[in-house]
Structures are given as structure tokens and as C-alpha cells.
Amino acid sequence: MTTVLLIIHLMIAAGLVGVVLLQRSEGGALGIGGGGGFMSGRGTANFLTRVTAGLAAAFFTTSLLLTLIATRPEATRSILDTPATSQPAKGEPPAPSGLPAAQDQPAQPAAPAPGRGGILDKLQPSTPSVPQSR
């Protein structure tokens, strides 16, 4: 929703800039914008004034809507953000909280037997140490 409204807002802003640049300059401050041309005449000036007013109102409205959307609290969450909760079948004990059911767990590989090249055989001596008495 925000992305669509932002794209519409940017299109309105670009249109507003274009319509303002099409209007005839009456101040003569820069010495441009005089004489006839593509859009001249009193009817065209009224049309451009109305289009400018409409685009300005739309720009103002979309600005307010974007502000309201950005400042609202995050009350609605996606269903994908919440973990799934499953109910055990009748007669089946419930799984401990935080752990998946036993049938969903993958098989764990067994630890290597002592004396068969496991990592513990490399770190510890093969003969157990006898505690010394003091």
C-alpha cells in the first residue's frame, strides 16, 4: 500500500512541476515567457491554473496519507510472522513447549565409540587417570 501511494505521489509531483513550468511568466523577472507559443491565450491559462490547483490538492492529500501511514503503530502483523501452533492428535501426549514433536525431528547421528578415532580420543588419553590420595 505504501509503495503504491509513494509512486502515485511521485507522479503527481512530476506532473505538478511540468504544469508549473508550462505556465506563462507574468512577472518578467527573467525576461522569458513572453510572446505566443505552444500554449497561449486566456483559455489555456485558466486550464493550466485549474490543473495546477488539482495537482496541488492531490499532492497535499498524498503527503498527508503517507505521513499517516508512516506514523501509525504496527498493529497488524502478517500471518507468516507468527509461529505455527499444532494441536496433538487424540491420545497423543503434547510435545514439550519450544520443541517439535518427536516424529518431526531428524535422526541424530550417533557419537563415535571410544577408541574408534573420535575427537575425544584425540584430546584425552586412552587410559583413565587414577586420582591420587593426599
Please write the tens of the pLDDT for every residue from 41-85.
566 778 889 999 999 999 999 999 999 998 887 766 677 777 777
Rounded Cα–Cα distance for residues 77 and 122 (Å): 51
**Structure-model confidence comparison of residues 15 and 133, the more confident one:** 15
Rounded Cα–Cα distance for residues 108 and 102 (Å): 12
